[in-house]
Amino acid sequence: MTDQVLIIDFGSQVTQLIARRVREAGVYCEIVPFQSAEEGFHRLNPKAIILSGGPASTSEMGSPRAPQLVFDSGLPVLGICYGQMTMCVQMGGKAEGSDHREFGRAYVEIQKDCPLFEGVWKDGERHQVWMSHGDRVIEPPEGFEILARSDGAPFAVFGNPERKTYGMMFHPEVVHTPDGAKLLSNFVHKVAELAGDWSMAAYKDQAIEAIRAQVGDGRVICGLSGGVDSAVAAVLIHEAIGDQLTCIFVDHGLMRLNEAEQVVSLFREHYNIPLVHVDAADTFLSALEGETDPEKKRKTIGRLFIEVFEAEAKKVGGAEFLAQGTLYPDVIESVSFTGGPSVTIKSHHNVGGLPERMNMQLVEPLRELFKDEVRDLGRELGLPDAFVGRHPFPGPGLAIRCPGGVTREKMDILRQADAIYLDEIAKAGLYDAIWQAFAVLLPVQTVGVMGDGRTYEFVCALRAVTSVDGMTADFYHFDMDFLGRAATRIINEVRGINRVVYDVTSKPPGTIEWE
């Protein structure tokens, strides 16, 4: 196994971004909540440790702490925001609440050169960072020195280069700190002196061996959703165990235009993977008709998917393992580190195990990967780039892009509008510049004049966002010519829509979907 970094999570909403930046630097890492950090330390045997930010204050009674072995281990340690605060207090320094809080863009003045800044910042320079704190260090631990300061944080960065231990008040993991990724890369390479030899090709080989070791001569059933995650998981497992794998594709009638046919063609004809295709559109659409609550929609779709899948799995028979395309963010967010709303947000992911009645073991070869890493793995496995590079699509499908009741007629209208919109984006050469784009059929009808007659038809909303991490998003700035072309085609070609609007909402950390 390559060198590993342990990230101890104190509840920051952007802890995942720390892991992404470390992996982008070619170093494998895992996140563990502070409550189980000691177990994670012994399991991973890390070569360096990062302490995340979090919403607590070290001045509060019972606020989170890192295990003392972190500081006694002699390993390189980097504390970020709250991580710096608890590092300071636990190592004998002092921190307190401040009247000069800093939230958002700020500037630090570099006070001294150090390995953490090598090739990035120099003594005397001033650089933009992203702050989010109400506490500050007032007295660093013995042996630590000021490396950078800001207006609200006299110890914006402190460190003890001999101990290879540093703390910073700002968040280097977010894009709003322009040099943040370089600083994290410096920590793992210059400070911790890790090799940076973790790659997706190496991961593929390790995953194949792990699948073979787990499954042996057993049989595996994989539930295909039509999305990238389950597809990559299926191809990876098939490469490991061949025809011991059977895929079940439950077509719930809520997919994009021609998507079901593309999935069947890819797996049956291109990869020759045994595939059961179940057309269950009538079952799903009948159950959803009249349902307007988005969370009930999700739960209905999830329940029916399990029921249909179980029925088909029994027909296949003899399988001891169930494969899922669970990703690392699903695993992280299924654990409520600080009592947050993650369980509700991720309610459509099955990361909590299987119903006992299924009597099967889980095979989850992607549970250590982020979405972009899954795409890279798909390319390593030879999946077409047009497939692995597709915009993210929600598990509940178009049902959550159709606020209000869901009917077959509405799904057909939405599918056509969505396909035209994506086609125009592709023709304009913008598909890869946009993180996610889709159409939404609003539960609103308006009077319009088309030709010589009045119409009373639906309003279609178009959404397109840019994002580097899926955590935050900003709307894509189309020019009016593009929006005019897309709207004109949708109104002319899709019967049932007479008005098109563009959504210019930006999203803070959280869901990017419409509902």
Which amino acid is present at 40?
Answer: G
From 29, 81, 222, 402, active-site residue: 81
Sequence-distant (≥ 6) Cβ neighbours of residue 209 within 8 angstroms: 240
Encoded amino acid at 502, one letter: Y
The secondary element (H helix, E strand) that includes residue 459 is strand 453-466
CA distance to 122, 129, 190, 347, per residue, from 117 (Å): 7, 14, 9, 41
Known active-site residue 173? yes
Q: Which token pair is 409?
A: 């007629």
**What three-state secondary structure class fits 321?**
strand
Beta bridge partners of 423: none
- Residues 235/236/240/245 CA torsion (nearest 10 deg): -50
Q: Tell me if residue 502 falls in helix, strand or coil.
A: strand
**270 annotated active-site:** no
The HSE-up count of residue 474 (CA atoms within 13 Å, CB side) is 5
222 is catalytic: no
Catalytic residue chosen out of the listed positions 127, 133, 171, 252: 171
| Ramachandran bin of 125, using left for φ above 0, alpha for ψ from -120 to 50, beta for the remaining angles | beta
Cα separation values, 37 from 42, 44, 89, 166, Å: 9, 10, 18, 19
* 499 close to 448: Cβ distance less than 8 angstroms: yes
Catalytic residue among 30, 173, 368, 373: 173
| Active-site amino acid positions | 81, 171, 173
